[in-house]
Amino acid sequence: MTTASSGPQVPQGILWIASYPKSGNTWTRALLNNLLRILEGEDEGRAHDINKMSEFTVWDISAKRYERILGKPMTEVSLDEIAATRPQVQREIAEATDGLAIVKTHHALVLDRGVPAINFEITSGAIYIVRNPLDVAVSFAAHRGGSVDEAIAVMGATDLETATSDKSVYEVYGSWSQHVESWTRKPHRTIFVMRYEDMLADPRRVFAALADHLLLDPTPEQLDLAIERSSFDELRRQEEAEGYREKPKAAERFFRSGTAGQWRDILMPEQIERIVRRHHVQMARFGYLTQELKALLSAPPTAAMP
């Protein structure tokens, strides 16, 4: 680490890559993995292996970390103990890394049993990715191996938490609206917010802005190469060839579509209405509430509405 007298300080702590599930978190991680390898001279002339992303990015919900600190198996650990231990786990991740520790999270930015789900004392910054919930519902259903209606119900559940297993502790999602609002309700200089749809439409502009936010200085050629090596086609090619360790057993594939607007061909009118009525406030903030969708709010609820 450089000192104040020898140059700028190297950023320390955790850089969170945060999102509601199926919103572009893995794509962003792949982009950073490829870009950092290129900038650090570790480029091997090909895209970085998606199953080796943990070399640059980790997750803070590994059960082993909690079992070691608490001194007992996950079957004997209470949710209160997990919540109380989470800041220490995150601190250990930060302190074990020379420079920025890049950590994936699906936590909402909330208090969990009186304890912050995200330890900002050791946080250097965050990238937050938001995606149209109409498309999230379609992708989330496939990811869960369930129906779209089930995915919509999960996305609308207030204060939702995932389950704890012998491999991972629970995460605090909240509803889709809770999640988005928690990370974006107040602009913060250390939180860089990206829309999935903008990442698709103009990746060079969005990822150049991200690199600038992270104080990286890639050449246009380096950035284009990182974008090419983290493209959806490349990620899906790797999954089809070698599999992807983070794919849930219930999902047919992890990298399924990588598009925007698929909801128009898949969702039923009543499903669209349920999502819009539940999430229209945050949808409006991010440009997802078109005039077409806004009209649903002024009409009486359909009989199919729960």
3-state helix, strand, coil in the chain (%, to 5): 50, 10, 40
**Nearest partner of 88 among 169, 180, 179, 191, judged by Cα:** 169
Where along the chain do its domains lie? 13-260
Which pTM was predicted?
A: 0.87
Q: Mean pLDDT of all residues in the chain? A: 86
Residue 152 confidence (pLDDT): 98
pLDDT for the residue 247: 47
Average pLDDT on 53-61 reads 72
The closest of 283, 282, 267, 273 to 306, measured between CA atoms, is 273
d(CA 143, CA 137): 10
Q: What is the pLDDT of residue 287?
A: 97
Higher pLDDT, residue 154 or 245: 154
CA distance 73 to 59: 19
In order, the DSSP letters of 17-36 are EEESSSSSHHHHHHHHHHHH
Q: Residue 131 has which token pair?
A: 């995606």
**What are the DSSP calls for 43-89, one per residue?**
--SSPPPGGGGGGTEEETTBHHHHHHHHTS-GGG--HHHHHHHHHHH
Residue matched to tokens 């600038």: 212
Q: Which CATH architecture does the domain made up of 13-260 adopt?
A: 3-Layer(aba) Sandwich (3.40)
pLDDT value at residue 10: 45
Question: pLDDT band for position 16 (50/70/90)?
Answer: very high
Q: Provide mean pLDDT across the span 259-286.
A: 94
Phi-psi region at 113: left, alpha or beta (left = phi > 0; alpha = psi -120 to 50): left
HSE (CB half, 13 Å, CA atoms) of 61? Answer: 19
Average pLDDT over residues 89-97: 92
User: Measured between alpha carbons, how far is 120 from 90 in angstroms, rounded to an integer?
Assistant: 10
Radius of gyration (Cα) for the chain, nearest Å? Answer: 20
- 137-175 pLDDT, tens digit each: 998 998 788 899 999 999 999 999 999 999 999 999 999
In this prediction, what percent of the chain has a pLDDT beyond 90?
A: 62
Predicted pLDDT at 47? 65
